[in-house]
């Protein structure tokens, strides 16, 4: 590790107790020097984060990285040896004056000097503030929360959901604006990083200049994203729930099959590196998610009182192959008609794999909350894409590539009378508001909202609009702007706001609201507000 220069002061939100350069702006209860080395550079360059809020605790995360983009594989993040003490404090007030928990963890080389603290034993349903220190260096202060007790009455909850933040093609103003909303929770739905390097000129460059393929390059990719002040601000503002999509590993991969037809054994080595780097940079629970080679359990369930439960899915690790994968150019998503690829319709195909399907179905059947959100990576609604020759085709990489699995899920939701099921997703860089149906003319079984990208380029709006006549269950589509979705839930209704930034290439982009929808209790489907 490197030695003494003063910690640099970083940009953080300066409202509601989220302050940058906490060693300067907040009184130190950790003391002038916590256990740890004499740092020459700030080790908290990647910010802090919290996640997995439970009624009695949450996960706190940071990673020590005084040289976050170190090109030397022997010194990840500029660290080189041994376990390093990292002190932490948890307070019930933003100025860190009423401590309810403190202690010292050890950041280990094998985890790239990341720290994942599983905090338990705290009272439910209230905000907390936290920070880290090592030696004389201190992190900023973050706000997190414990969930209300299971079944406890809850009148209101606000959350945002986000996806597809490509560092190269824009600035993360959308994250900054979501942080300013001070939500109770942020749900990341995938493409938190992009593994490739610029296909078009962007506004800034991915470090290393190569596609991430091994542990060093995946680590540096995640580290670079975490150096972004707007990304740091959204993590400091609220706890998060995490799932991934494809670009955390490789575009359009499916389980052990790569878009580029790599040998599956080789591809699993790449997936192991990608999953490990993901773990090292996210506030996920080690007791659930500590990676084991190419395997990492991410899907999980989170309840907030009697109001809302989130089933967070993993749509990549366990899915069946891309339909008709074996053909040239079919490694990733592609469009197929029923005649060209009957395999797409096979009943055994699954987006989730049998174990996750069973877990999801069991959880939905037992759910007692007023609202039940399925948080996952890709578009679920059927999308009939009429081709220039008049034939109808479907895209294979989202749920349209796994229609039997979608039908099983929607049938289960209907048969189990799941209350107020709402699916949220990302991936398509497009806002969608959809009715989810088992039959085109039948009743609406569930509601779907998909958020646009934080920065990634949107696909052709004209193409989406041309599909609308064949998809009357699609109530809204727009791929022309970047942003996120802000949701407020009460027992009576869900209010959904599609927020957009003025220009993703402007680091000072302003915010506006593109559209509002509501979902009423016991009435599936989005209603324009």
The residue ranges that bind Fe ion (CB under 5 A) are 164, 191, 456
- Residue 24 neighbours by CB under 8 Å, 6+ apart: 9
Closest by alpha carbon to 369, among 260, 506, 494? 494
Query: Contact, 381 vs 320, CB < 8 A?
Result: no
Closest by alpha carbon to 316, among 267, 243, 263? 243
Q: Give 96 or 164: the residue with its C-beta nearer to Fe ion.
A: 164
Residue 249 C-beta: closest distance to Fe ion, Å: 13
Residue 458 C-beta: closest distance to Fe ion, Å: 10
Strand ranges for 167-316 from DSSP E: 185-188, 240-242, 300-304, 308-312
Q: Give 191 or 300: the residue with its C-beta nearer to Fe ion.
A: 191
- What is the full DSSP assignment across 77-141? GG--SS-EEEEEEEESSTTS-SEEEEEEEEE-GGGTTEEEEEE-SPPSS-EEEEEEEETTEE---
- Residue 438 neighbours by CB under 8 Å, 6+ apart: 407, 410, 411, 414, 445
Strands 185-188 and 157-162: parallel
Burial class (CB in 10 A: 0-12, 13-18, 19+), 120: exposed
Query: Contact, 517 vs 502, CB < 8 A?
Result: no
Q: Give 52 or 248: the residue with its C-beta nearer to Fe ion.
A: 248
C-alpha to C-alpha distances, 343 to 240, 294, 453, 527, nearest whole angstrom: 37, 27, 31, 35
**3-state secondary structure at position 381:** coil
Q: Give 311 or 456: the residue with its C-beta nearer to Fe ion.
A: 456
Query: Contact, 425 vs 189, CB < 8 A?
Result: yes
Token reading at 194:
């992009």
Residue 191 C-beta: closest distance to Fe ion, Å: 4
Token reading at 326:
């074996």
Residue 189 C-beta: closest distance to Fe ion, Å: 10
Q: Give 435 or 478: the residue with its C-beta nearer to Fe ion.
A: 478
Residue 398 C-beta: closest distance to Fe ion, Å: 11
- Tell me the C-alpha distance between 214 and 384, whole Å: 38
Q: Give 163 or 372: the residue with its C-beta nearer to Fe ion.
A: 163
Q: Give 105 or 164: the residue with its C-beta nearer to Fe ion.
A: 164
Q: Give 434 or 456: the residue with its C-beta nearer to Fe ion.
A: 456
What sign results for the dihedral spanned by CA atoms 402, 406, 412, 415? negative
Q: Give 164 or 313: the residue with its C-beta nearer to Fe ion.
A: 164
Token reading at 300:
């999980």
Return the C-alpha torsion angle 195, 399, 448, 406, nearest 10: -140
- What is the full DSSP assignment across 262-282? --HHHHHHHHHHHHHHHHHTS
Q: Give 124 or 332: the residue with its C-beta nearer to Fe ion.
A: 332
Token reading at 430:
């497009």
**3-state secondary structure at position 371:** strand
Closest by alpha carbon to 61, among 26, 111, 98? 111
Residue 245 C-beta: closest distance to Fe ion, Å: 6
Residue 178 C-beta: closest distance to Fe ion, Å: 17
Q: Give 164 or 375: the residue with its C-beta nearer to Fe ion.
A: 164
**3-state secondary structure at position 215:** helix
Residue 514 C-beta: closest distance to Fe ion, Å: 19
- What is the full DSSP assignment across 420-471? SEEEEE-SSSSEEEEEEESSTTS-EEEEEEE---SSSPP--HHHHHHHGGG-
Q: Give 52 or 448: the residue with its C-beta nearer to Fe ion.
A: 448
Residue 126 C-beta: closest distance to Fe ion, Å: 35
- Tell me the C-alpha distance between 6 and 14, whole Å: 21
In sequence order, the β-bridge partners of residue 107 are 84
Q: Give 45 or 165: the residue with its C-beta nearer to Fe ion.
A: 165
């Amino acid at each position: 590790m490197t030695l003494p220069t003063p910690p640099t002061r970083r940009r953080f939100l300066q409202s509601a107790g989220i302050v940058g350069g906490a060693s300067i702006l907040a009184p130190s209860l950790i003391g002038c020097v916590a256990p740890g080395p004499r740092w020459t550079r700030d080790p908290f360059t990647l910010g802090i984060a919290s996640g997995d809020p439970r009624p009695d605790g949450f996960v706190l995360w940071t990673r020590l990285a005084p040289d976050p983009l170190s090109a030397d594989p022997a010194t990840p993040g500029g660290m080189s040896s041994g376990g390093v003490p990292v002190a932490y404090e948890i307070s019930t007030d933003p100025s860190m004056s009423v401590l309810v928990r403190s202690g010292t963890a050890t950041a280990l080389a094998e985890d790239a000097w990341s720290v994942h603290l599983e905090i338990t034993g705290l009272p439910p349903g209230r905000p907390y503030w936290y920070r880290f220190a090592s030696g004389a260096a201190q992190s900023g202060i973050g706000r997190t929360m414990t969930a209300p007790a299971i079944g406890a009455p809850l009148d209101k909850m606000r959350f945002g959901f986000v996806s597809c933040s490509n560092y190269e093609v824009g600035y993360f103003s959308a994250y900054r604006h979501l942080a300013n909303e001070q939500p109770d929770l942020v749900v990341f739905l995938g493409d938190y990083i992009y593994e490739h390097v610029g296909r078009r000129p962007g506004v800034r460059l991915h470090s290393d200049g190569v596609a991430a393929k091994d542990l060093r390059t995946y680590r540096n990719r995640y580290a670079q994203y975490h150096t972004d002040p707007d990304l740091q601000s959204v993590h400091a503002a609220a706890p998060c729930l995490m799932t991934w999509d494809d670009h955390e590993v490789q575009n359009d991969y499916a389980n052990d099959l790569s878009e580029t037809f790599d040998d599956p054994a080789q591809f699993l080595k790449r997936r192991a590196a990608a999953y490990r780097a993901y773990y090292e940079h996210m506030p996920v629970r080690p007791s659930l998610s500590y990676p084991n080679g190419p395997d990492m359990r991410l899907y999980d369930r989170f309840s907030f009182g009697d109001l809302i439960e989130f089933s967070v899915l993993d749509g990549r690790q366990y899915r069946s192959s891309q339909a008709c994968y074996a053909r040239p150019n079919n490694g990733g998503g592609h469009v197929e008609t029923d005649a060209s690829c009957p395999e797409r319709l096979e009943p055994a195909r699954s987006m989730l794999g049998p174990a996750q399907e069973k877990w999801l179905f069991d959880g939905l059947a037992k759910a007692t909350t007023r609202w039940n959100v399925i948080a996952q990576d890709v578009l679920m609604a059927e999308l009939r894409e009429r081709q220039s020759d008049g034939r109808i085709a479907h895209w294979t990489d989202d749920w349209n590539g796994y229609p039997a699995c979608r039908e099983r899920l929607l049938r289960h939701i209907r048969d189990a009378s799941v209350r107020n099921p709402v699916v949220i997703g990302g991936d398509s860089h497009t806002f969608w508001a959809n009715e989810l149906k088992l039959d085109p003319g039948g009743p609406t079984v569930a509601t779907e909202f998909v958020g646009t990208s934080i920065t990634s380029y949107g696909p052709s709006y004209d193409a989406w609009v041309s599909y609308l006549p064949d998809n009357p269950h699609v109530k809204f589509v727009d791929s022309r702007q970047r942003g996120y979705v802000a949701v407020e839930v009460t027992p009576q209704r869900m209010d959904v706001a599609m927020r957009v930034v003025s220009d993703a290439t402007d680091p000072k982009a302003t915010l506006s609201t593109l559209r509002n929808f509501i979902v009423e209790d016991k009435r599936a489907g989005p209603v324009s507000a």
